[in-house]
Structure 1
Amino acid sequence: MVICSHPLATRAGVDVLKAGGNAADAALATSICQTVVE
């Protein structure tokens, strides 16, 4: 489960988890994407 304020950032985190990443990987992907889109 990934929750944040922007749907694209959420999607990035979910995609990382689906690809086999762990929670830290998903958090980093979400954070980086959130920085770019806002």
Structure 2
Amino acid sequence: MVAAANPLAVEAGYSVLEAGGTAADAAIAVQLVLNLVEPQSSGLGGG
């Protein structure tokens, strides 16, 4: 199961898990996508 604020990030995390990645790999993928689609909520200061 993958949960995130954006469906594209969820899809990225789920794809990593399906390919045999670890939970940490999926979390990194989710955060990378969130940095692209919701940059205002992904900085050091949060949203």
TM-score (normalised: structure 2): 0.78
The alignment's C-alpha RMSD in Å is 0.4
Note the alpha carbon deviations across 1:1-38, whole angstroms, 9 max, x for none: 11011000000000000000000000000000011011
Q: Counterpart of 2:20?
A: 20
More relative contact order, 1 or 2 (CA 8 Å, 6+ apart): 1
Q: Counterpart of 2:35?
A: 35
Runs (4 or more) in structure 1 with deviation over 4 Å come to none
Percent of aligned pairs sharing the same letter: 53
Residues matched between the structures, number: 38
Where does structure 1 lack aligned partners over 5 or more consecutive residues? none
Q: Report the 3-state secondary structure (helix = DSSP H, G, I; strand = E; otherwise coil) of the residue aligned with 2:11.
A: helix
The structure number with the bigger radius of gyration is: 2
